[in-house]
Amino acid sequence: MLTTPEQRTTPAEIRKKKGEGIVIRWQDGHTSTFGARFLRGRCPCAQCVSESTGQRLVSEEHINPDVAIEAARTVGNYALHFDFTDGHTTGIYSFEYLRRICPCEDCA
């Protein structure tokens, strides 16, 4: 199936599953499942990634294995925002970024 970059990075459905994290079905038909700890360890905010060097400062191994997503919201049309149970709330995860970090076997 021919798909456009637009379809690859636009969700058709977003689900927040208890204990599992976030599941996004994209418009091109692909499905990504993101665990809470996986997402927390890839937070793109300025506290977790150095603004000047782009180096990751906080990654998955620094995160408590029990971390969960307390709340999830959409940001305008283009991103998701999460409140994690460890108190971290500053990341804005664009759909483009989320698709890029899809942890499934085909993508990773």
Q: By CB under 8 A, tell whether 2 contacts other proteins.
A: no
Phi, psi for 100 (deg, rounded to 5)? -65, -35
State the minimum distance, in angstroms, from the CB of residue 89 to other proteins.
Answer: 14
Q: Of residues 8, 16, 30, 56, which one binds other proteins by CB under 8 A?
A: 16
Tokens 């692909």 map to which residue? 30
Residue with Cβ nearer other proteins (1 or 73) = 73
State the minimum distance, in angstroms, from the CB of residue 88 to other proteins.
Answer: 18
How do beta strands 21-26 and 92-94 pair? unpaired
Tokens 């150095």 map to which residue? 50
Tokens 């942890």 map to which residue? 103
Residues 74-103 that bind other proteins (CB under 8 A): 74-80, 92, 94-96
Q: By CB under 8 A, tell whether 15 contacts other proteins.
A: yes
| Residue 95 structure tokens | 């759909």
Closest CA to 102 of 27, 26, 45: 26
Query: Which residues make up the interface to other proteins (CB under 8 A)?
Result: 10-18, 27, 72-80, 92, 94-96
